[in-house]
Amino acid sequence: MGDLKQELKQRRPFRSLAHEAHLSILRTAAQFEHAFESALKPHGVTATQYNVLRILRGAEPTGLCRQEIGARMLRRVPDVTRLLDRLEDLRLVVRERGGSDRRLVTTRITAAGLKVLAGLDPVADKLTGALLGRLDEADLRALIDLLGRVRDRM
């Protein structure tokens, strides 16, 4: 089992068990994020872009407005508009203004975006299996439940 104190080369004890748990969550999330970014890099897509494409695939066929995309993202980003600009430049999403309300802009994933996701799904699945493969179904359900309980308090 991974010993966080050794990983961090920490000599002193943690201030509390809760502090150790907090640091363990942060360390694990950072390692997951790094592994995911590394797996996606050869495909020319960042983890944040992949997340937006995944969100938009789930919102098909209606698409979503910028604010709704931002609210659904795993990690909040300061400028969703600029992120969508880049995805639009890559022709992975398309934005359309609303009929009667020209302020409403709906973003949808394109066929090219769906194709990119179809190619990345096996990459994400393989990585997820490699990272979480040591946990059985009961462990995964317990982990999901525990992390959900932590988020519920936020």
**Domain span at 10:** 4-152
Q: Is 127 exposed, middle or buried (0-12, 13-18, 19+ CB in 10 A)?
A: middle
Whether 1 shows a pLDDT value over 60: the answer reads no
For residue 65, give the nearest of 30, 97, 87 by alpha carbon: 97
> pLDDT for 79-98, tens place per residue?
999 999 999 999 999 999 87
Q: What is the number of domains present in the chain?
A: 1
Q: Which residue from 32, 30, 74, 35 is spatially nearest to 53, judged by alpha carbons?
A: 74
What residues have CB less than 8 Å from 116, skipping those under 6 apart? Answer: 43, 45, 53, 92
Quote the CA–CA distance of 110 and 144 in Å, as a whole number: 32
Q: What is the CATH number of the domain that holds 93?
A: 1.10.10.10
Tens of pLDDT, residue by residue over 37-70, are: 999 999 999 999 999 999 999 999 999 999 999 9
